[in-house]
Homo-oligomer: A and B are copies of this chain.
Amino acid sequence: MKIIKLQNATDLKRTKSQLQKLGLWTSVYENASETFLLSSDDSTVVQDEDILAIDGVESISTNKSPHPLMDRHPQTADFGGISIGGERPVLMAGPCSVESEAQIHESAAMVASVGATVLRGGCFKPRTNPYSFQGVGPEGLGWMREAANAHDLLVVTEAMSPTQVDIVGKYADIFQIGARNMQNFDLLHAVGRANMPVLLKRGLSSTLSEWLQAAEHILYSGASHVILCERGVRGFDGSTRFLFDLGAVAIIKHVHNLPIIADPSHATGRKDLIPHMGAAAMAAGADGLIIEAHPHPENACSDGPQQLDAEELQATARAWGFIS
- Over the window 125-146 of chain A, the binary record of Cβ atoms lying under 8 Å from chain B Cβ atoms (1 yes, 0 no) is 0111111000000000000000
Q: Contact at B42–A298, with CB atoms within 8 Å?
A: no
> Which listed residue (B24, B40, B183, B284) contacts A126, Cβ 8 A?
B183
Q: Contact at A59–B38, with CB atoms within 8 Å?
A: no
Question: Closest CB of chain B to A283's CB: distance in Å?
Answer: 4
> Which listed residue (B31, B205, B221, B254) contacts A61, Cβ 8 A?
B31
Q: Contact at B284–A280, with CB atoms within 8 Å?
A: yes
Question: Closest CB of chain B to A57's CB: distance in Å?
Answer: 12
Per the bound structure, the CA–CA distance linking A182 and B155 in Å amounts to 28
Contacts of A259 in B (CB 8 A): none
Q: Contact at B41–A59, with CB atoms within 8 Å?
A: no
Cβ of A231 < 8 Å from any Cβ of B? no
Q: Contact at A128–B180, with CB atoms within 8 Å?
A: no
Question: Closest CB of chain B to A182's CB: distance in Å?
Answer: 8
Q: A20-B298, A247-B267 are in contact. Are A254 and B276 (CB under 8 A)?
A: yes
Contacts of A22 in B (CB 8 A): 305
Question: Closest CB of chain B to A266's CB: distance in Å?
Answer: 11
Question: Closest CB of chain B to A290's CB: distance in Å?
Answer: 17
Q: Contact at A208–B183, with CB atoms within 8 Å?
A: no
Main SS at interface, chain A: mixed
Q: Contact at A186–B161, with CB atoms within 8 Å?
A: yes
Contacts of A17 in B (CB 8 A): 298-299, 304
Q: Which of A73-81, A101-109, A166-174, A233-241 contacts B (4 or more CB under 8 A)?
A: A233-241
Cβ of A117 < 8 Å from any Cβ of B? no
Cβ of A64 < 8 Å from any Cβ of B? yes
Number of interface residues of A (CB under 8 A): 110
Q: Contact at B270–A42, with CB atoms within 8 Å?
A: yes
Cβ of A181 < 8 Å from any Cβ of B? yes
Question: Closest CB of chain B to A240's CB: distance in Å?
Answer: 5
Q: A31-B60, A31-B61 are in contact. Are A247 and B236 (CB under 8 A)?
A: no
Per the bound structure, the CA–CA distance linking A233 and B279 in Å amounts to 21
Give the interface of A toward B (CB within 8 A).
1-3, 5, 17-18, 20-25, 27-31, 33-36, 38, 40-45, 59-64, 66, 126-131, 160-164, 180-187, 203-205, 207-208, 210, 213-214, 216-217, 220-221, 233-241, 243-248, 250-251, 253-255, 267-273, 276-277, 279-285, 297-300, 304-306, 309
Q: List 27 A-B contacts (CB under 8 A).
A: A1-B38, A20-B304, A42-B269, A44-B273, A126-B183, A130-B217, A161-B162, A161-B186, A205-B236, A207-B237, A208-B239, A233-B236, A234-B234, A236-B236, A239-B248, A244-B247, A246-B280, A247-B273, A247-B277, A250-B273, A250-B280, A254-B276, A279-B283, A279-B284, A280-B280, A280-B281, A280-B283
